[in-house]
Amino acid sequence: MKIYVAGHRGMVGGAILRQLQARRDAGENLELITRTSAELDLTDQTAVRMFMQAEQPDQVILAAAKVGGIIANNSYPAQFIYENLMIECNVIHQAFDAGVRKLLQLGSSCIYPKLADQPMREDALLTGTLEPTNEPYAVAKIAGIKLCESYNRQYGTDYRSVMPTNLYGPGDNFHPENSHVLPALIRRFHQAVQDEVSEVVIWGTGTPMREFLHVDDMAAASLFVLGLDTETYQRETQEMLSHINVGSGTDVSIRELAEIVARVTGYQGKLSFDASKPDGAPRKLMDVSRLARLGWTAQTPLETGVRETYEWFKAQKLQDLRAK
Ligand SMILES: NC(=O)C1=CN([C@@H]2O[C@H](COP(=O)(O)OP(=O)(O)OC[C@H]3O[C@@H](n4cnc5c(N)ncnc54)[C@H](OP(=O)(O)O)[C@@H]3O)[C@@H](O)[C@H]2O)C=CC1
Ligand SMILES: C[C@H]1O[C@H](OP(=O)(O)OP(=O)(O)OC[C@H]2O[C@@H](n3cnc4c(=O)[nH]c(N)nc43)[C@H](O)[C@@H]2O)[C@@H](O)[C@@H](O)C1=O
């Protein structure tokens, strides 16, 4: 079985690759193919076509995307819609042309309307207006679902989509402005402890609710969904509703999240909130009953996952310092 993992240097693609490598090392007959973006720019149609025709993988896992937090999405909307649409169109269409029958692509919980009923079920898709801070990214992600559905309908392929909630873990992006909230707070609280600062600023009001899933859980869920037999997947997803939510099933407010990160990093100062920064969607909790019915639930409690991620972050910082 020859599998192409697109985006293997990213947080999720990296975790998926590690789990596939472990299966291969345990004796499963797997050939794993990867390319960095420098080796293969997935927005380049000709390059993707040549790659797919040359490699002819049996399966494709699409975890490559332009990804970022609320400010990155809001600041670079053209890049978020263009790059994600191009990556999806090129990878999905060229995989199809090269004879790939089975593919899994990753979407996002932001595909659902800003004010969707909570928890958000798969059939909330396209029932209302999107959250403006990430609408371009969400439109691209919705297009990815519809691409898979359309190829399945017209050509009988088996292309599947998983919709992750907010993810975190080893390999995350800790950029101070462009990252998601959890890595941003880990970095900011860590720095505050180092510098003995008595106040940490958190963006927005602290009231938005978010659900967080550890990346190893996400990787396991992705491989679980890819591994389901076609009959089971189609029975559960029904025609025209091909995507499956992936989440932990519980959420916390951003204030509660900040309190967890403060505990984990040992920060004891004051928390303050900068309401001039956007809150984004008021709440984004996934309904994960479809995945649970199929037999998969998340394993990592949030605080345990944050502790592990913080250890990874510190080890990484040490490594970076040593490399300088
Ligand atoms: N992180 C999160 O909280 C969430 C993520 N998701 C989705 O999960 C998937 C994985 O996200 P995540 O792992 O966090 O993202 P990362 O930013 O960690 O990784 C994305 C990867 O995509 C690759 N990539 C980006 N652009 C190109 C390109 N033009 N050509 C080739 N490769 C490219 C990069 O490769 P390279 O390193 O070689 O440059 C990078 O390693 C995405 O689809 C994302 O939308 C969904 C919900 C939440
Ligand atoms: C996964 C998902 O991620 C994005 O949506 P989001 O959930 O709004 O993502 P976020 O993690 O950046 O913010 C969550 C909340 O947290 C608050 N917040 C506080 N302090 C910081 C902070 O320091 N950094 C960030 N980024 N947010 C902060 C922030 O104001 C917001 O209320 C999408 O654009 C899209 O990419 C997508 O699919």
Tens place of pLDDT per residue across the chain (324 aa): 999 999 999 999 999 999 999 999 999 999 999 999 999 999 999 999 999 999 999 999 999 999 999 999 999 999 999 999 999 999 999 999 999 999 999 999 999 999 999 999 999 999 999 999 999 999 999 999 999 999 999 999 999 999 999 999 999 999 999 999 999 999 999 999 999 999 999 999 999 999 999 999 999 999 999 999 998 988 888 766 689 999 999 999 999 999 999 999 999 999 999 999 999 999 999 999 999 999 999 999 999 999 999 999 999 987 886 776
Residues in contact with 75: Cβ distance below 8 Å, sequence separation at least 6, in sequence order: none
Q: Helices 135-155 and 77-97, interaxial angle, to 10°?
A: 10
In this prediction the ipTM stands at: 0.99
Is the C-beta atom of 70 inside 6 A of ligand 2? yes
- Does domain 2-323 fall under CATH 3.40.50.10860? My reply is no
Kindly list the domain boundaries of the chain, sorted by start residue.
2-323
Which residues are identified as catalytic?
137
Ligand closest to Cα of 8 equals: 1
Residues in contact with 281: Cβ distance below 8 Å, sequence separation at least 6, in sequence order: 110, 114, 131, 208
> Tell me, what amino acid is at 184?
A
* 308 closest CA partner among 243, 219, 215: 215
The pTM (predicted TM-score) of the whole model is: 0.98
The alpha carbon of 49 and the centre of ligand 2 are apart by a number of angstroms equal to 35
Annotated binding site for NADP(+): 7-13, 106-109, 141, 164-167, 180
Number of H helices, E strands in the chain: 11, 12
Q: Identify the residue whose C-alpha is closest to ligand 1 atom 19.
A: 10
Is the C-beta atom of 37 inside 6 A of ligand 1? yes
The alpha carbon of 86 and the centre of ligand 1 are apart by a number of angstroms equal to 14
